[in-house]
Amino acid sequence: MHDYFYELADFAETLLKAREVLLLGFFGEESSFVRFNRSAVRQAGAVEQRQLALHLVGEGRRVTTHLTASGDAALDRERVRKALDGARERLGVVPEDPYLHYATEVRSTESVRANRLPEDEGQVVDAIVKAGEGRDLVGIYMAGGIHRGFANSLGQRNWFSTYSHHFDWSFHLDGDKAVKCAYAGFVWNPAEFEEKMARAKAELEALRRSPRTLEPGRYRVYLAPQALEEVVGLLRWGGFGLGARHTRRTPLLRMVTDGAVLDPSVRMVEDTRGGLSAGFDEAGFVKPDQVTLIDGGRLGDPLVSARAAKEYDVPANGASRRESPESLVMAGGTIPGQDVLAALGTGIFINNLWYLNYSDRDACRMTGMTRFAAFWVENGELQAPVNVMRFDETLYRMLGENLVGLTREVELLPDVNTYGGRSTRSLRLPGAVVDEFVLTL
């Protein structure tokens, strides 16, 4: 895919007219998908695709065209030719864009990560089926290579390839009772997989006990990484962008205007170097290895898209148009994973949250529901599953004044979105023990 994209880019450049600039983006993947239900394979397949985004720029205007590349050189060259002809016709009638901004300094990069996935995927599938024997395992396994490319007519070339796997599954008991889990990484480690399976099976057995209904109130809770994923996932939509800060639409408004802080142990970075996303954006700006978003509980640097950089006259740092983190990492703390129940003591072990939204965006107050396996814990021992409840809490309490501690280990949590292609967004998060967590009903 690498050489093919560059050859198409070279060809496209020969079609340009005077004072035209071409920005060419590429997405490709070679992915396997296996769906499971009742611990058996129900569907298996593979996807190989190539997508192009052509941005024709001229006289302060831009026209964007998306097309699918087939891999046939003659066919794809003709598609590119027609796409540029069509874009050129529209270029003269679209309005000028006052915030049009793209990289003019040529910075070419290449990052091709080694493919360390199993050569025989059948071994992985067999391990999953065996682990689910006698239980209703439902899930999807996806794995393979994801590729990103950028080229412009100024001579810049950028390429990124990575190979990863993600198994997202649940052990379903009955009704709304299930244990939801995920295992992701760049290497399939049988020992890690078995450890996750053992933990999930133990929770499934605990889920068979008579459920307990709790009264609304304030409880000590443990938010597992997948529960914290929902909190941070909501936060990253508008939480860290320069544009949201200037327009006062960020949910972290109190950190911007009032100097509000989180617990000193809270550190979040956009870690492009260690994530699944490419180190460049669609405008050709190369991302730094890391951007510190929160450090020592205090607000750090913003993510700056090309358009925001133009609007506010600051350097771009490769952020997407939404200025949302794509490879956010939250630093771990001091609680060993095996000691989570002891650290919780008496309270609620929460595996998953869902239906999150802001109940007061300016105060970063969120509401949502517990989901799947949540357990009442006494003296560090699981006692009974807890029926679904709603919470209403602010980030400043959850990760601020009421944060007891974070787990030492962090978990890779890729975005499972496959609309149009496998997503390269991801989070790496610890779990969190929180006091006085408000459950409302």
pLDDT per position as a tens digit, 1-55 = 999 999 999 999 999 999 999 999 999 999 999 999 999 999 999 999 999 999 9
Considering the domain architecture, whether residues 188 and 221 belong to the same structural domain is answered as no
pLDDT at 373: 87
Classify each residue of 404-426 as buried b or exposed e, where b means 16 or more C-beta atoms within 10 Å of its C-beta.
bbbbebbbbbbbeeeeeebbbbb
pLDDT at 299: 97
pLDDT at 416: 87
The span from the CA of 35 to the CA of 141, in Å, is 6
Q: pTM to 2 decimals? A: 0.94
Low-confidence ranges of the chain (pLDDT < 70): none
Considering the domain architecture, whether residues 244 and 385 belong to the same structural domain is answered as yes
Considering the domain architecture, whether residues 261 and 197 belong to the same structural domain is answered as no
Q: Per the structure block, which two tokens stand in for 251?
A: 């949910």
Considering the domain architecture, whether residues 193 and 224 belong to the same structural domain is answered as no
Enclosing domain of residue 127 = 2-205
Considering the domain architecture, whether residues 188 and 250 belong to the same structural domain is answered as no
Alpha carbon separation from 233 to 150, 239, 295, 397 (Å, rounded) = 27, 10, 18, 17
Provide the β-strand partners of residue 170. 138, 180
Considering the domain architecture, whether residues 214 and 299 belong to the same structural domain is answered as yes
Considering the domain architecture, whether residues 200 and 219 belong to the same structural domain is answered as no
Q: Write the CATH number for 24.
A: 3.30.2290.10
Alpha carbon separation from 299 to 36, 269, 429 (Å, rounded) = 42, 11, 18
Considering the domain architecture, whether residues 158 and 227 belong to the same structural domain is answered as no
Contacts of 355 (CB under 8 A, 6+ apart): 368, 369
Considering the domain architecture, whether residues 72 and 195 belong to the same structural domain is answered as yes
pLDDT at 419: 86
Considering the domain architecture, whether residues 22 and 149 belong to the same structural domain is answered as yes
pLDDT at 174: 87
The answer to whether 144 and 32 have CB atoms below 8 angstroms apart is yes
Overall domain count for the chain: 2
For the chain, the C-alpha Rg in angstroms (whole number) is 24
